[in-house]
Structure 1
Amino acid sequence: MGAADEQDLEDGEGWLTKAEVREIWPQIRPSSIRAVARANSVRTSAAPSPDLTHEPTYHAADVRHVAARIARVEADVAPWQRADSDAARDDATPGPPVRQPVSWRPGNVPGLILLAIIVGLILWGLTSPDNHGTVTDFVR
């Protein structure tokens, strides 16, 4: 760490990871941190973050400045990017359950066998010769 880096840390400067920014910006959804930082001109470092997530690191002074603007509702933040908005609550509410497609699982086999038997009996009943000619009369 050089003298300039130490001076930056003493002045409240330096670089913060996404996790650290999340602690400073609890009102912002984690998935929106990068977009909010970009919209509010927070400087980012091109160097890889120390936690190896390939996320950029954010300039600490800029993050703190934007935190104050977020608290005063002056920052450029869309409603869906806020963790405390109606849109965020709507995303958090579970939707209807997703129906799984019918498959050849062991639990479905008895029902499929019964369906095949019923279809077979219907077809056999329509084509049997003792049907008094109803099928052949219908076709003609």
Structure 2
Amino acid sequence: MIGERGGGFRMGAGDEQVQQDGEGWLTKAEVREMWPQIRPISITAVARANSVRTSTAPSPDLTGEPAYHAADVRRVAARIARGEADVAPWQRADSDAARDDAAPGPPVRHAAGWGPENVPGLILLAIIVGLMLWGLTSPGHHGTVTGFVR
């Protein structure tokens, strides 16, 4: 099995028997293949809710995810297929929530800010304000606003 592990785990007599029987530990990617009905983001929660044993040893696929006990994963796969597993509706890949996540929504419009896309407008605004201030302070107006208003 691709996800079998031996090193890094403490193995007692019972664990050695499990290894000899072709059992082992599965990565999250392998569990996803066995549980296609479950959304990938929900694998860990469904495993926890259905008492799937996990390892605390570092994952060989470098994801940092725990490894899942193969026999437990198969047991829960059968329960999922029969509709008996503890799975919330939003955790299922065929749920409305999963379809909503997969469907593209309307484009998100962000509030205007001081970003680079606004530089031309800000430059124009600075020029207009500068010209207004220059006009107010010109010698003919003696730097007063009242002369500008008249």
Secondary structure, aligned partner of 2:79? helix
Decide which moves more: 108-117 or 56-65.
108-117
Change in Cα spacing, 1:6 to 1:109, as seen in structure 2 (3 Å) is closer
1:90 is aligned, of 77, 95, 100, to 100
Q: Distance in 1 between matches of 2:131 and 2:62?
A: 65
Give the AA of the match of 1:31: I
- Note the residue ranges of structure 1 that are not aligned, 5 or more in a row: none
- Alpha-carbon distance, 1:129 to partner: 9.0
Q: Which structure has the higher relative contact order (CA within 8 Å, separation 6+)?
A: 1
- Alpha-carbon distance, 1:68 to partner: 1.3
Change in Cα spacing, 1:5 to 1:61, as seen in structure 2 (3 Å) is closer
Give the AA of the match of 2:114: V
2:24 is aligned, of 11, 14, 17, to 14
Show the counterpart of 1:101. Answer: 113
Is 1:47 the counterpart of 2:57 in the alignment?
Answer: yes
Show the counterpart of 1:72. Answer: 82
- What's the C-alpha RMSD, in Å, of the aligned pairs? 3.2
Change in Cα spacing, 1:6 to 1:115, as seen in structure 2 (3 Å) is closer
Aligned residue pairs, count: 132
- Alpha-carbon distance, 1:127 to partner: 7.7
- Alpha-carbon distance, 1:111 to partner: 2.2
Q: Distance in 1 between matches of 2:119 and 2:27?
A: 53
Show the counterpart of 1:26. Answer: 36
Decide which moves more: 36-45 or 53-62.
53-62
Change in Cα spacing, 1:115 to 1:63, as seen in structure 2 (3 Å) is same
- Alpha-carbon distance, 1:35 to partner: 0.7
TM-score of the two chains, using structure 2 as the length reference: 0.68
Q: Distance in 2 between matches of 1:56 and 1:109?
A: 48
Show the counterpart of 2:11. Answer: none
Change in Cα spacing, 1:6 to 1:40, as seen in structure 2 (3 Å) is closer
- Note the residue ranges of structure 2 that are not aligned, 5 or more in a row: 1-5, 7-14
